[in-house]
Amino acid sequence: MTEHYNQKRKRKAEFIKPINTLKAKVGSGGLSEDILNRAQALLENNTVDFLPLAEIYLAALMKGIEMAKEADASADKEYIISSMLYPGMQLKANGGMFHYPLVTKIADKLIQFLEVIDEADIEVIEIVLAFHTTMRAVVLGRIKGSGGTHGANLIQALHDACMRYFEKNKGNIGKMIIAEE
Amino acid sequence: MTYEFYKIKVLVVEDNKPMLDLTKSILQTFGVVEVIAAKDGEEGFREYCLHNPDIVIADWMMKPMDGISLTRRIRNDPKSPSQYTPVILMTGFSEKRRVLEARDAGVTEFLVKPFNARDLYRRIAQVIERPRQFVRSEDFFGPDRRRHKNEEKPYTGPERREGGRRAPPPPVTEIDFADRPQQDEDWQ
């Protein structure tokens, strides 16, 4: 049996192995545990106030919610979802960097929810609003760290709301899952 | 003996000032002396052309030009001083389709935020110790999207067959950009 039915290949890929100048410059040996510990300590002890940043992203999320509320049938569904997804991603990314891991956990749940819905219907908007309210309460209440049992309960309540939505609206998630596969 | 990071230049492109400052400080603690900062992809590309850094660390979501567009320019723009520079993309996204989008733009490594100092170090060590070969095809130029499992460990054992040696089997490959990568696990 011959490859490609004896036909000449039409598309060729060229493989290039660039010279590793980076390795030549930095040498070997990695970094010591001491340096890594110092870098980690610097990160953990940063004194950045997350509140102003969080307010920007929460305002952007609210703008996305308002846009979703006002959207008519001709609106671009993906654009509407993205307008809530991107601020959610920023909250997830930055919360944990600036001592608010609970915001990161909640925002991660929000992202996972928005990534699998097909359109932002009224029930979706209500759920996203609940995420917004919860994250705002965490930030304004200066709840740093995991939030303990209360934090876990908040996440569970939001998770349950999403699950109830999926149970009720099976049609609004199927297309996305098929697209992923 | 440790890495001599004072010999390299790192460009950090991030529109979030506190995050930019934090990333710069971590790199300086690693020993990088020359950290160039830019607040978006456009400024990042100008600085890239001006300084020709050894590593680029860029955020994804920025305006007017994001980290993905910046990566495409680094890989494809005729003005780019080097098309092969490793690009580490920082983002809060970790879903598979996002990772694949970044991979297809020519990103070398993906760093999920929030991250810790070791996460950032691992990504940097990865581009130093296991650089990807590049692929140029009709519709793609960038780091090989697969990493060969045995590329750094060629067979060195005895040859058991004389004459008429068969061509070796193709290398086992695997997709680097795994589903929802976690920081603590090696992507590969």
A86 touching B (Cβ < 8 Å): yes
Task: Sketch the domain layout of chain A as residue ranges.
Answer: 50-180
Q: Which of A21, A27, A89 lies nearest to residue B92, judging by beta carbons?
A: A89
With residues binned 3-state (H G I as helix, E B as strand, rest as coil), the percentages for chain B, rounded to 5, are: 30, 20, 50
> pLDDT tens digits, chain B, 188 residues: what are they?
899 999 999 999 999 999 999 999 999 999 999 999 999 999 999 999 999 999 999 999 999 999 999 999 999 999 999 999 999 999 999 888 889 999 999 999 999 999 999 999 999 999 999 999 999 988 889 998 776 554 545 445 554 444 444 444 433 333 344 434 445 443 33
Phi and psi based region of residue A166 (left: phi greater than 0; alpha: psi -120 to 50; beta: remaining): alpha
Collapse the DSSP code of B35 into the 3-class scheme (helix H, G, I; strand E, B; otherwise coil) and give the result.
Answer: strand
Give chain A's residues under pLDDT 50.
Answer: 174-181
Top-tier CATH class for A50-180: mainly alpha
Q: Which two tokens stand for residue B121?
A: 């170090």
Which residues of chain A lie closer than 8 angstroms to B84, CB-CB? 16, 18
Instruction: Give the span between the Cα atoms of A50 and A52, in whole angstroms.
Output: 6
Which domains, and CATH codes, for chain B?
A: 5-145 (3.40.50.2300)
Judge: B95–A115 Cβ closer than 8 Å, yes or no.
yes
* Residue numbers of B between 1 and 30 with CB closer than 8 Å to A: 1-5, 7-8, 16, 18-19, 21-22, 25-26, 29-30
Tokens 């929030």 label which residue? Answer: B114
**What digits encode the pLDDT tens for the residues A8-31?**
766 678 899 999 999 999 999 999
Judge: B114–A28 Cβ closer than 8 Å, yes or no.
no
A163 touching B (Cβ < 8 Å): no
Which residues of chain B lie closer than 8 angstroms to A117, CB-CB? none
Which residues of chain A lie closer than 8 angstroms to B125, CB-CB? 30
Q: At what angle do helices A50-70 and A122-140 cross, to 10 degrees?
A: 170
Collapse the DSSP code of B148 into the 3-class scheme (helix H, G, I; strand E, B; otherwise coil) and give the result.
Answer: strand
Judge: B113–A92 Cβ closer than 8 Å, yes or no.
yes
Q: Tell me the ipTM for this assembly.
A: 0.85
Residue pair A25/B54 in contact by the 8 Å Cβ criterion: yes
Residue type, A26: V
> SS3 string of chain A?
CCHHHHCCCCCCCEEECCCCHHHHHHCCCCCCHHHHHHHHHHHHCCCCCHHHHHHHHHHHHHHHHHHHHHCCCCCCHHHHHHHHHHHHHHHHHHHHHHCCHHHHHHHHHHHHHHHHCCCCCHHHHHHHHHHHHHHHHHHHCCCCCCCHHHHHHHHHHHHHHHHHHHHHCHHHCHHHHHHHC
Judge: B30–A39 Cβ closer than 8 Å, yes or no.
yes
Q: Which two tokens stand for residue A4?
A: 């490609």
